Chains A and B, each alone.
Chain A
Amino acid sequence: MIPMNKKQSAAAPEQRFASRERTPSVDIRDVNHYYGAGENRKQVLFHNNLQLYPGEIVIMTGPSGSGKTTLLTLIGALRSVQEGNVTILDRELKGLGRSEQERIRTNIGFIFQAHNLFESLTAHETIRLVMQLHDYSRSQYVTRPAEILTELGLADRMHYKPENLSGGQRQRVAIGRALVNHPKLILADEPTAALDKDTGRKVVTMLQERAKNEACTILIVTHDNRILDVADRIVNMVDGYIVSNIDVAESLMICNFLKKCKVFAKTDPTLLADVAGKMTIETVVAGNDIITEGEVGDKFYLIRSGTAEAYRTVNSNVTTLKPYVTGDFFGELALLSNAPRGASVRATSETDLLVLDKAIFVDVVKQSKNFEDRLKDVFFHK
C-alpha cells in the first residue's frame, strides 16, 4: 500500500491559493489588542489573522464595537501593535517609532467617514497638499489634481472650498486625496455612506479600477450592502474575532460544485456557504493515492483543479473505473454508509482538493435533512 502523500495546509481558507502565488500586502498574524491599562484593561481584538493580497477589494463588516475600526487603525499604522505581527507592504509595523509610522502612512490612502477636508483649502489645493508627501514635477502639481478631480466629476468645483461643496462632492475630494499618490493600500471607512446610489457606484467603480489596474489592495469597512458586489472577499468581525473570511469567487465556485452533489442539492445557501468556508485544501502530486480501497472513509473530496481517477486492483490487475476532473467529487458514499472505501482514487496530475471532515459532512447532511423536513412541514401545513 502506498502511503498518501499529501501536503496538508494549515493556513486559514482565505489563503488557500493566493498564498502560493503572491506575498500579501497586508499580513496580520495572531494579533491581540487591548485598551486601557491595569484593572481597566480590556481586550478588543482576539487572535486576529488576516491576509490581504494585491488587487483585492476586501469588505469588512460587523456590528459597531466589534473591533473593525481598531483593526483598521492597526493596519493604517495609526496605532502601535501590541501583540502579534502586522506587516504592511513588506514592512513589519511592530515596534516602529512615530516617524517610521508616519513614513509608512504616506504609502497608504485613507478615506474617512467624516471626510476631514481642510476648511481653508479648495479641492485643488487639498490634493496638491498631500502630493507634497511625494516627489512630483512642478507642472504635475497643477495638472494631476485637475485630472483626478475631473475623473471624480468635480471639474467645475475644482476651486471651491469645502463650505461650498455638497456632502457627496466633499467625499469625492477626500477620495481624490486618498488616490492621488497611487497608494498600494487604501483604507476606507464607510466611503459611500454620504453618497447617493449613483455617486456611490461611481466611487466604488473607481476604487475597483484602481485595485485591478494597479494591483492595489483596498480594505473597506462598510454597512452599505449596495456595494457588496465589488468585494473579492468579505470579512466579518464580531466581538473582536474575525468570525468569517470568505473569498467570494472561491466560495461561489465551491458552492456551485457542491450543489451538483446530490447530498447537498437541497442544502440552503447559508449552510452551503458555511460548508464552503469549512473546507480545507490538500494538494496531491500525480500518481499518488487520495483514497485507498478498503480503508475506513473519514473525508469527502472535491477537485478544485487537476485530474484523478478511481480504480480497483484485482490480482495485481489495475482496472480504471472512472476519471474525475475539476468540480467532481468523491468519497461521500463511504461516509454516508460508514462502509470501507469501495475503490481507490489516485491523482493523475497535480491536484488541488477541497476536503471536508466526516464529522462536519455528517452534520451538514443531517441539518439538510432537518431543513427538508421542516420545509415539508411547511408545505403540509399550507
Chain B
Amino acid sequence: MGIALSWKNTTQNKKRTLAAVSGIAFSLVLIFMQVGFLDGATTASTLLYDCIDFDLIVTSDRYESMMSCGRFDRIYMRKAAVEPGVAGTGILNLAGKRWTNPDTEEQCSILLVGVDDDPAYVLHPEIRDNLSQVAPDNTIMLDRLSHKDYGDVSVGTTGTIQDVDVRVTANFDLGVSLFTEGSGVTNHKTFARLTGVPARMASFGLIKIDPNANLQDVKRRLRNALPADVFLFDRDEFIRQEQAFFISVKPVGIVFQTGVLVSFMVGMVILYQVLSTEVSNRLSEYATLKAVGFSTAFIYRIGINQALFFSVLSYSPALIVSLLLYHIIRIASRLPMHLDPPIALFVLALTIVMCSVSGYLALRKLKHADPADLF
C-alpha cells in the first residue's frame, strides 16, 4: 500500500507529472548525448590502433597523442630488433595533411597512415589484404567512411595531397576521429613524398615479442637498450594514454564532461523542485500518516518511491529518444556512437544518483511534518 500511495501521489496531478517527467527526460537525453559523444570520440581516438598489431610501442619523447607524436630516427628500431625476446619490429607513420577533392577542388583534412608492406603488423583485414595495392608509388587506400566532401573515394579516382596526384587503388572501412575528416593508408615511400618527412624518421616503432617471452622483462631490457629521447609503452598503457589525453586534455573531452555534469545538475534541480513541491503540498498528509502511527521510515519510503517513479518514468522515454538520436547522428556524422548497455547502465546509475540526491534534499522538509500541529 505504501507503494500504491506513492504511485497515486505521483500520478494524481497528471499535467504536473507530465511536465516534470518531460523536464527530467530532457535532461537525461542531454546526458545520453554528451556521454555518447564522449564515448564515440574516445572510441574514434583509438580506432586506428585497433587496426595495428603490436605488444610494445616506441615513440619520440615529444609524444603527446596521435596528432602530436613527434618523430624519432628509425635506426633505433634496428637496435630494438636484436634484443632478446623481440620477435620483430615495424614502423607506423602518421601525419595530418589535406586532401583535395578532384571534382570540387574542396579541401579536407586527412590522416595519412604510412605502413610497412609486412602484413604482420596490420590487424584490419581489408587493409592487410590490400597492402600490395598501395605498393606502387603515389597510390593510396582510402577510408570509405571519410567525410562526404572527399567526393568519390572509390578505386580509380585521383585526388591531390600537397600538390601531388595520388591514385586510389583500394578502400577500407574505418570511420573518422574528431581530428580528421578521413584517412588514407600508403607505403612509407609515398608517405615521405606526400608529407615531406625524411624517410629515416618514424612516428611509431612497433614491436612484437616472442610468445613465450615475459612482456615486462622485454620492456625493461628495451628501455635500457634504447636512448633516453624515446618513450616505450606497452599496448594497454598506450591506449589508455591516448584516451586519457583525449578525455582530460583535449577541449572536446572537457566540454563533453562538463556537459554531462551540467545536464545532470539540470535534471537534479528539476526533480528536486518537483519533489519538494510535492512534499510541501502534502505536508499535512504526511503529518497525518505520522499521527495515526505510520513510522517515519514508511513516510520517507513514500518520498523515495516517488523519486524512483519519476526517474523511471523519465528514463524510459529518454532512452528511446536517445536511441533514435544516436542512430541519426551516426548516419549524419559517421562518428562511432553506439548506445550499448554500458552507456545505458551508466546513465541509469546517474539517474538513480540524481533522484537519490534530490530526493534526500526534498525529504529534509519532512521533518517539518509535525503531527502535533494537526489539532
Contact = CB atoms under 8 A, between A and B. Distances in A.
Given A73-B375, A125-B4, A132-B1, A119 B282 contact: yes
B284 A78 contact: no
A110 B292 contact: yes
A74 to B, nearest CB: 9
Given A78-B372, A113-B375, A120 B8 contact: yes
Contact of B296 (A76, A98, A120): A98
Given A116-B287, A125-B4, A128-B1, A189 B295 contact: no
A311 to B, nearest CB: 57
Contacts of B5: 118, 120-121, 129
Contacts of A102: 290, 293-296
Contact of A129 (B1, B291, B371, B372): B1
Interface string A106-125: 11101011101111110001
Interface string B274-297: 000000001011011011111110
Interface residues of A, number: 34
A103 interface: yes
B267 to A, nearest CB: 24
A45 B371 CA distance: 19
A133 B293 contact: yes
A127 to B, nearest CB: 11
A125 B8 CA distance: 11
A177 B285 contact: no
Contacts of A112: 288, 291, 374-375
Nearest to A128: B1
Contacts of B257: none
Interface string A128-170: 1110110000000000000000000000000000000000000
Nearest to A187: B375
Interface string B1-42: 110110011011000000000000000000000000000000
A133 B287 CA distance: 16
A286 B11 CA distance: 74
26 contacts: A72-B375, A73-B375, A76-B291, A78-B372, A79-B372, A99-B295, A102-B295, A104-B293, A105-B292, A106-B292, A110-B292, A112-B288, A112-B374, A114-B284, A116-B284, A116-B374, A118-B285, A119-B12, A119-B285, A120-B5, A120-B8, A121-B5, A129-B5, A132-B1, A132-B2, A177-B292
Contacts of B285: 116-119
Interface of A: 69, 72-73, 76, 78-79, 98-99, 102-108, 110, 112-114, 116-121, 125, 128-130, 132-133, 177, 189, 221
B20 to A, nearest CB: 15
Nearest to B287: A116
A105 B375 contact: no
Interface of B: 1-2, 4-5, 8-9, 11-12, 282, 284-285, 287-288, 290-296, 371-372, 374-375
Given A102-B290, A116-B284, A73 B1 contact: no
Contacts of A113: 375
A341 B4 CA distance: 77
Nearest to B290: A102
Contact of A130 (B11, B282, B292, B371): B292
Contacts of B293: 102-108, 133
Q: Is the interface of B mostly helix, strand, loop or mixed?
A: helix
A72 B371 CA distance: 12
A129 B285 CA distance: 13
A116 B4 CA distance: 18
Contacts of A116: 284-285, 287-288, 374
Contacts of A76: 291, 375
A73 B288 contact: no
Contacts of A107: 293
A113 B284 CA distance: 12
B173 to A, nearest CB: 56
Contacts of A98: 296
Contacts of B282: 119
A185 to B, nearest CB: 12
A221 B375 CA distance: 10
Nearest to A109: B292
A30 B293 CA distance: 26
A288 B284 CA distance: 61
Most buried by A among B1, B11, B291: B291
Most buried by B among A102, A130, A177: A102
Per CB-CB distance, the 6 closest pairs between chain A and chain B, nearest first, are: A106-B293, A105-B293, A120-B12, A120-B8, A116-B288, A78-B372
Given A119-B12, A120-B8, A128-B1, A133 B375 contact: no
A133 B372 contact: no
Contacts of A118: 5, 285, 288
A177 B4 CA distance: 18
Most buried by B among A72, A114, A118: A118
A42 B291 CA distance: 25
A76 B292 CA distance: 9
B306 to A, nearest CB: 11
Contacts of A78: 291, 371-372, 374-375
Contacts of A128: 1
Contacts of A79: 372
Given A110-B374, A112-B374, 20 more contacts: A72-B375, A73-B372, A76-B291, A76-B375, A78-B291, A102-B290, A102-B296, A103-B293, A107-B293, A112-B375, A118-B285, A118-B288, A119-B285, A120-B8, A121-B5, A125-B8, A132-B2, A133-B292, A177-B292, A221-B375
B16 to A, nearest CB: 12
